[in-house]
Amino acid sequence: MSLFKVFDVAGSGMMAQSLRLNTTASNMANANSVSGDPDQAYRARHPVFSAMMNSMTIDEASAIGVQVNGIIEQQTPPVRLYDPGNPLADEQGYVYQSNVNIVEEMANMISASRSFQNNVEAMNTAKQMLAATLRLGD
């Protein structure tokens, strides 16, 4: 693999982790939101990634980056809370809170942040190696 390809691979990884951080931040911002209808309650969202390959044959395939396949909603049901004084409560007095797990989202945030930092380090290392290669000619 060319040393210049490192920038493409790390750049796509940084974009993917940035999307992951934004999705996690959205989940955390909506963690305590409620609705009077379980179908309208906020559901946690998670991006799905896959490796992009440069060849169709398995023997010659090599990764050239990360692609986003989509964002899926978590299918666990919303939390049902009895709160008859809430203006959003249904006829039985229940509101439905989002299914966001704050602990899971914090772990996702830390993991995405570290992955982003690793991609930055890979780019910096490649840059230093290219600069050292250029200095060999002096």
Question: What pLDDT, on the 0 to 100 scale, is given for residue 69?
Answer: 93
Convert the pLDDT of each residue in 18-60 to its tens digit.
999 999 999 999 999 999 999 999 999 999 998 887 765 555 5
Convert the pLDDT of each residue in 51-88 to its tens digit.
887 765 555 556 678 889 999 999 999 999 999 999 99
Q: Cβ atoms within 10 A of the Cβ of 49, count?
A: 16
Convert the pLDDT of each residue in 104-115 to its tens digit.
999 999 999 999
Q: What is this structure's pTM? A: 0.83
The domain segmentation of the chain, as residue ranges, is: 5-135
**If DSSP states are collapsed to H, E and C, what string results for 23-42?**
HHHHHHHCCCCEECCCCCCC
By the 10 Å C-beta count (0-12 exposed, 13-18 middle, 19+ buried), 110 is classed as exposed
